[in-house]
Amino acid sequence: MDRKQLVEQIFTKKTFLCVGLDTDLNKVPHFLLKEEDPIYAFNKAIIDATAPYCVAYKPNLAFYECYGLKGMQAFVKTIDYLKKNYPNHFIVADAKRGDIGNTSKMYAQTFFEEYNVDSLTIAPYMGEDSVKPFLEYKGKWTILLALTSNKGSQDFQLFEDKNGLRLFERVLTKSQEWGNPNNLMYVVGATQGSLFADIRKLAPESFLLVPGVGAQGGSLQEVCKYGITKDCGLLVNSSRGILYASSEENYAEVAAQKAKALQEEMAIELAKL
């Protein structure tokens, strides 16, 4: 999915919600554990319920890899289900890859050819040659970690060099020499508040993938105040707040209600543009 198509979906559906598929068998409704593939059964129900209210889905690979072969089979089935039934939804593989060039090339082949997802999260710590193999794929997106929502983000990401440039700012400026707003996004945590303004100074047209709204306490209104652009420029992710809003048989219905509530808030923000 290219930028034009993504922006069109956002304004047509009046939402920039990304639903995170962080499927944890310790948290899904217990009756689903009787299913042959409980991860896929849960994902399928969540997708069907929330699809009208979002433009993207973000399966986190850790929640599939931890279950070995069965988990990865559930991941593949989930991707296939999305592509067959909801082809206009943007798919983010949240895998946080990034390694030396030849290894990154294999990661890129895995996710962009074998799994055929739209985008992949990348840790840029190893620099240009670890990122460029992903950027070579036309129509695919590389999403670099920039300023994350976890407490430990300040350990490295806010470190200033002798010129006062913070590490996340270095990531933003340097990476734009390799890619552009049509194939490069950045992860910026919703809990970072007014720092979105600093990010927009350096990446005014780039899309930002924003986790941390909901269970992590990030404010959608604050994110939009500092981060939204004329093209929206945001994919705001919610995972736990939607997935596990209910552990009863109505779990999918309640998930839809949570997603709809966020969509309605997002529609208000988009109407201001």
The residues annotated as belonging to the active site are 96
Compute the distance between CA of residue 214 and CA of residue 163 in angstroms, rounded to an integer: 36
Compute the distance between CA of residue 108 and CA of residue 119 in angstroms, rounded to an integer: 10
Closest CA to 208 of 18, 13, 9, 52: 18
End-to-end Cα spacing for the chain: 23
Compute the distance between CA of residue 215 and CA of residue 211 in angstroms, rounded to an integer: 10
Residue ranges with strand state E in 69-222: 90-97, 119-122, 141-147, 184-188, 207-210
- Would you say 3 and 182 are in contact if contact means Cβ atoms under 8 Å apart? yes
Helix (H), strand (E) at residue 217: none
